[in-house]
Structures are given as C-alpha cells and as structure tokens.
Amino acid sequence: PLDAAIRECREETGVLCQNAKPLLMYHPGLDCSYNPTHLFHATRTVDAEGALRDGREVRQIRWVPFKRCLRMIDDGTFVDALSITALLSYHRRYA
C-alpha cells in the first residue's frame, strides 16, 4: 500500500512524497465488500520532475494550511469521507 500511495500521489498531483509513514488503516464499510483503505502522511514532498498531470482529473493543485482544511470540514467544503477521515486522523495524532 505504501508504494501504491506514493505512486498515485506522484501520478495524480506531480508531488513526490518522501519519508511517508502510515497514518491509519480502516474499512469504509463492512456491509458489501472487503475494502481496506490505507492512509499515509509524508513529512517531506518535492515536485516530481517529468510528472504528467491528467487535465481531466486534476484542474488545480495548491497547498492549503492545515487549520484552514479543518475549517473546510466545518463549512462543508470537504464532504467526502476519505478526506475528512484523513484530516481528522492526522489532527488527532499530530496537531
């Protein structure tokens, strides 16, 4: 899962995660399928040279301060469970 997460981050955003560590493993739902979900966090990132961003999937990339991300949960900007789970898990553990 770690190698896949690093690869997907690079492919989807052009950002290469360095020194990535496990954050959380959970199952989004237990009622219909086996779907273990692994979350990681990286202490360093660099722009990946030669990364190809798919314009159909990624329209904009920007860094957002963590405290603002938490406010974006409260104001309804973030509504997907994966983003909310990742942000709150990181906040619980490191903030």
CB neighbours of residue 6 within 10 Å: 17
Name the average pLDDT for the chain.
88
Over range 16-30, report the average pLDDT. 91
Q: Which residue has the higher pLDDT, 53 or 25?
A: 25
Measured distance CA(40)–CA(77) in Å, rounded: 22
Q: Per-residue pLDDT for 20 more than 70? A: yes
Strand, coil or helix: what is 59? Answer: coil
Q: Per-residue pLDDT for 26 more than 80? A: yes
What is residue 83's predicted lDDT score, i.e. its pLDDT? 93
pTM of the model: 0.80
pLDDT digits (tens, 9 = 90+) for 30-74: 777 888 999 999 999 888 765 656 666 667 778 899 999 999 999
